[in-house]
């Protein structure tokens, strides 16, 4: 039996070499994943801006590019799960869900599922919470355009999503959604205040218009 020191010296270089090769490969995958997630986040941000400016076609083309990146990213689940289930990948997944839900809503399309978007269920839920913030922007634009009924419909969707998110009561280690649930609640409450104020103002304006119209008729004004 060789001495303990001899046993270590014989096996150590080979073991360390294998470790280095494994980690070099994983580091390369990690760097590529970082680049991919940055591209996804950037493209989703650009798509959302286009959607709010009314360019749904342009936004759709950007999301098609993102989908191909998401397909590549999803392969990491089996090959490198330790890299896939990290914060930066999770953020990219959420951004894609947020942009995809907004595009589907504005385009009148069916709500895409987690499987269709190729994202984990937890990331989908977190992205859906972020989607409520984008719906508020849609809502405010509708108020500016005085499209109260459509604004009311958008608010109702926000309310439904909030109610659905509140059913997701899981430990933080499984789904860290409590902070976003609180944010959505505040967003929905503020939106209801804005909607109520807008409806009151509309009723008041219509009442004033009716009074003015009646006055003009009574006084025979043109």
What are the CA-CA distances from residue 166 to residues 35, 40, 97, 181, 210 (Å)? Answer: 34, 28, 18, 7, 44
Whether 187 shows a pLDDT value over 90: the answer reads yes
Least confident of 33-47, 85-99, 173-187, 208-222: 208-222
User: Is the CB of residue 26 less than 8 Å from the CB of residue 83?
Assistant: yes
Count of Cβ atoms closer than 10 Å to residue 20 Cβ: 10
Whether 181 shows a pLDDT value over 90: the answer reads yes
Whether 161 shows a pLDDT value over 70: the answer reads yes
Label residue 17 by pLDDT band (50, 70, 90): confident
Q: Which residues lie below 8 Å from residue 126, measured CB to CB, with a gap of 6+?
A: 90, 94, 97, 175, 176, 177, 180
Least confident of 49-63, 102-116, 191-205: 191-205
pLDDT at site 6: 62
Whether 175 shows a pLDDT value over 90: the answer reads yes
Whether 211 shows a pLDDT value over 80: the answer reads no
Q: What integer is the mean pLDDT of 52-66?
A: 95
Q: What integer is the mean pLDDT of 23-48?
A: 93
Whether 217 shows a pLDDT value over 70: the answer reads no
Instruction: Identify the structural domains of the chain with CATH numbers, from first to last.
Output: 1-112 (1.20.58.2140), 120-222 (1.20.58.2140)
Mean pLDDT for all residues in the chain:
88
pTM: 0.85
């Amino acid at each position: 039996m060789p001495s303990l020191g001899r046993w270590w010296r014989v096996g150590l270089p080979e073991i360390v070499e294998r470790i280095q090769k494994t980690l070099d490969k994983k580091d390369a995958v990690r760097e590529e994943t970082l680049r991919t997630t940055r591209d996804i986040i950037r493209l989703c941000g650009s798509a959302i801006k286009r959607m709010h400016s009314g360019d749904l076609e342009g936004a759709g083309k950007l999301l098609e590019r993102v989908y191909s990146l998401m397909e590549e990213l999803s392969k990491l689940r089996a090959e490198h799960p330790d890299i896939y289930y990290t914060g930066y990948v999770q953020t990219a997944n959420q951004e894609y869900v947020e942009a995809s839900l907004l595009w589907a809503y504005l385009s009148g399309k069916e709500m895409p599922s987690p499987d269709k978007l190729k994202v984990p269920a937890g990331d989908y839920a977190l992205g859906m919470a972020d989607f409520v913030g984008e719906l508020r922007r849609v809502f405010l634009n509708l108020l500016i355009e005085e499209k109260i009924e459509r604004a009311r419909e958008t608010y109702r969707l926000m309310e439904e999503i909030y109610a659905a998110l509140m059913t997701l009561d899981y430990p933080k280690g499984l789904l860290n959604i409590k902070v976003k649930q609180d944010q959505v609640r505040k967003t929905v409450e503020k939106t209801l205040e804005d909607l109520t104020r807008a409806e009151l103002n509309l009723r008041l304006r219509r009442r004033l218009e009716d009074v003015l119209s009646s006055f003009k008729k009574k006084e025979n004004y043109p």
